[in-house]
Amino acid sequence: MSMNTEDDNNNNKTIHSEPGFKGLIAGFAYTGPAARASRLKLPVGANVQVDEQYKASSGSARILDKVTSDATKRRTKRSATVLDTSSKRIRAAQTITPLKEVPDYLEKDLDVVFCGFNPGIQSSTRGHHYAGSNNHFWTCLSESGLVGSTVVTYKDDARCPADFSIGFTNIVSRPTRGSSDLSMKEMSAGADPLYAKITTFRPKVCCFVGKGVYEAFSGKKKFELGLQAEKVGATALFVVPSTSGRVSAYSKEDKLLLFKELKRVLDEITASKSLFTEDAILHQPENDLS
């Protein structure tokens, strides 16, 4: 749900790739918000735009305004990041035991694929996605309607593709204590493999769990939470805040609002395919390998 409202009428403007990204993702320029420099290249003649009816529908703008306002207030008030103290004991054990990667759970044509930063210590130790004791992911997923009335936990991640058409991956597979232990270079290096996963498995929506994940993937630094105006192939892109309990700028209620909005967007895509016109689909440049 991209809520930007600036206009950019230059439909044919090409945004060149930054060095190293190899132009694998088509350009994120469109006739909604003004185009900003990114790693992505817009195909010549493409007319990428936000569906204005979508922007105004079902209180989407109000949801984003509320979440953004609440987050701003919390940033002003908080004096320190809330730490997951239970992970300290696990962290001490990792001085002896190497951290293990958590496997992807992907199948073709899923409804949603969630992409996080990388596995944390508790996820690595338990062998499941979003397994931190203070992580809000599974609560938000259970209460969003994306899994019906089922209450799911991290132990259910492996069955989510078959039972709920939901998959999991990360932009970096290497486990760390927290996402702050990852460099932007390492996350950006994960963009190409993630792009390949999206184009191979073709989910209806790829949901980035954490603004930093989408920043590393797209090269964009300024964007709103929610549905983005851009697509990769036929896959819509959606951004929610990190669900880690350490991210205190957004409350669990704020995160849940965006998960419910994801459900609404998915339902609309499934029902009508009307969120984007054919011209809005971004394609990989065929000849640009720079």
Helices (H), the chain: 52-56, 60-77, 86-93, 121-126, 137-144, 160-164, 184-189, 191-201, 211-218, 252-272
**Is residue 83 scored above 90 in pLDDT?**
no
Highest mean pLDDT among 61-75, 101-115, 242-256: 101-115
Q: Pick 99 or 85 by higher pLDDT.
A: 99
In which band, very low, low, confident or very high, does the pLDDT at 272 lie, cut at 50, 70 and 90?
Answer: confident
**Domain assignment of residue 262, yes or no:** yes
Our count of domains for the chain comes to: 1
Residue pLDDT, tens place only, 107-134: 999 999 999 999 999 999 999 999 999 9
* Range in 17-31, 50-64, 83-97, 167-181 the model is least confident about: 17-31
CA angle 203–19–228, rounded 5-degree value: 35
**Domain assignment of residue 287, yes or no:** no
129 is catalytic: yes
> Mean pLDDT, the chain, as a whole number?
75
pLDDT the model gives residue 3: 45
Instruction: Supply the pTM of this predicted model.
Output: 0.67
Q: Pick 156 or 88 by higher pLDDT.
A: 156
pLDDT the model gives residue 75: 52
**Domain assignment of residue 73, yes or no:** no
**Is residue 210 scored above 60 in pLDDT?**
yes
CATH code of the domain in which 127 resides? 3.40.470.10
**Domain assignment of residue 86, yes or no:** no
Question: What is the domain extent for residue 135?
Answer: 102-273
Helix axes 252-272, 60-77, angle to 10 degrees: 160
- Which one of 9, 11, 129, 283 is the catalytic residue? 129
The radius of gyration computed from the CA coordinates of the chain, to the nearest angstrom, equals: 18
Distance CA 203, CA 236 (A): 8
Distances (CA, A) of 13 to 4, 228, 233: 19, 19, 19
**Domain assignment of residue 139, yes or no:** yes
- Which one of 4, 9, 47, 118 is the catalytic residue? 118
**Domain assignment of residue 290, yes or no:** no
**Domain assignment of residue 65, yes or no:** no
**Domain assignment of residue 136, yes or no:** yes
* Range in 12-21, 199-208, 227-236 the model is least confident about: 12-21
